[in-house]
């Protein structure tokens, strides 16, 4: 029976709706029962959309964090609380857009600072309170008094100070030839990235890390030659995947893991040459897939036997 695109898409949707929806999507986690779309974490609670976190809670899009709480988009940091868009920070609280900071609180857009409180736009500074320089003894004496005041007072004063300093148009760090987007770190030759780390030769990525030659990815990790993938990781030469990991040469798949050369499949693990969840021999599989690829206008699959 000849396969056409419209009938395939209808059958694919019916297949997804006929299968149970996994309650959450995670991979290789330990003691982390209330999390979703997050991988390789340990002893975490209510963390989402990230990976490689330990002993942390209430975090969104974390990456390589330890002992962090109430942090969003925070990477490679430890002992942080209420931080947003911070990288490589240690023992910081209520900080935003800070990098390489240590023992800082209520700081905004600071770089390589230590022992600062309520500061904005400082680089390589220490012992500063609301952008005023103090001696070491004077700083800790004043800091002891400030800690007696409520958090809300410090946040109000910080907001007033932020309004007196110019804002950076975009936030990029150690990136090359990646002019459009925001919150980009260690990326190269890419276009229109947001909250992306370590991606190269990519475009239209959101909350995705370490992509290579990929386009239109959302919450994806270490994908190469991938297109239109959502919440997946470690995939190669695949497209239209949702919540798939370690898949290769797969297209239109949903909640599949460790699969190769699968098309229109859902809830499969360690499968190969499957079409709409049915097992085929290699030649028959490529024949069926080839009909759809031709209708879509895709080139022939290089894996197809001659």
**Cβ-count burial 117-152 (b if 16+ within 10 Å, e if not):** bbbbbbeebbbbbbbeebeeeebeebbeebeeeeee
Distance CA 279, CA 285 (A): 8
Confidence of residue 224 (pLDDT cuts 50, 70, 90): very high
Token representation of residue 90: 């240690």
Of all residues in the chain, what percent carry a pLDDT higher than 90? 82
- Give the model confidence (pLDDT) of 71-88 as tens digits: 999 999 999 999 999 999
Distance (Å, rounded) from C-alpha 228 to C-alpha 290? 20
Pick the range with the lowest mean pLDDT from 75-79, 163-167, 285-289: 163-167
pTM over 0.85: yes
Residue 32 is predicted with a pLDDT of 93
The 3-class SS string of 213-248 reads CCEEEECCECCECCEEEECCECCECCEEEECCECCE
> Which residues does 22 contact at the CB level (< 8 Å), separation at least 6?
243, 255, 267
| pLDDT tens per residue, range 9-36 | 999 999 999 998 877 778 789 999 899 9
What pLDDT was estimated at residue 28? Answer: 85
What's the whole-number mean pLDDT along residues 276-301? 90
Average pLDDT taken over every residue of the chain: 93
Task: Say what the pLDDT of residue 72 is.
Answer: 96
Classify burial at 187, counting beta carbons within 10 Å of its beta carbon; exposed 0-12, middle 13-18, buried 19 or more.
buried
Other C-beta atoms lying within 10 Å of the C-beta of residue 275: 23
């Amino acid at each position: 029976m000849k396969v056409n695109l419209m009938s395939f898409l209808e059958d694919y949707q019916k297949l997804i709706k006929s299968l149970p929806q996994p309650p959450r999507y995670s991979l290789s986690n330990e003691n982390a029962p209330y999390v979703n779309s997050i991988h390789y974490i340990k002893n975490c609670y209510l963390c989402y959309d990230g990976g490689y976190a330990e002993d942390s809670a209430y975090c969104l899009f974390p990456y390589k964090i330890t002992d962090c709480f109430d942090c969003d988009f925070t990477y490679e940091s430890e002992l942080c609380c209420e931080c947003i868009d911070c990288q490589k920070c240690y023992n910081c609280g209520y900080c935003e857009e800070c990098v390489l900071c240590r023992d800082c609180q209520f700081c905004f857009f600071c770089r390589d600072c230590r022992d600062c409180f309520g500061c904005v736009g400082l680089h390589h500074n220490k012992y500063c309170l609301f952008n005023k320089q103090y001696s070491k003894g004077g700083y800790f004496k004043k800091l002891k008094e400030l800690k007696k005041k409520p958090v809300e007072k410090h946040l109000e004063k910080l907001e007033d100070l932020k309004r007196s300093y110019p804002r950076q148009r975009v936030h990029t760090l150690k990136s090359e030839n990646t002019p459009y987007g925001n919150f980009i770190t260690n990326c190269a030759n890419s276009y229109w990235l947001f909250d992306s780390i370590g991606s190269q030769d990519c475009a239209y990525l959101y909350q995705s890390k370490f992509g290579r030659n990929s386009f239109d990815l959302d919450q994806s990790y270490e994908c190469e030659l991938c297109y239109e993938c959502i919440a997946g990781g470690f995939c190669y030469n695949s497209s239209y995947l949702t919540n798939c990991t370690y898949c290769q040469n797969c297209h239109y798949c949903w909640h599949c893991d460790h699969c190769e050369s699968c098309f229109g499949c859902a809830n499969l693990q360690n499968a190969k040459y499957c079409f709409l969840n049915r097992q085929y021999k290699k030649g028959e599989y490529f024949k069926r897939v080839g009909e759809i690829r031709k209708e879509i206008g895709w080139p022939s699959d290089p894996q197809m036997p001659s």
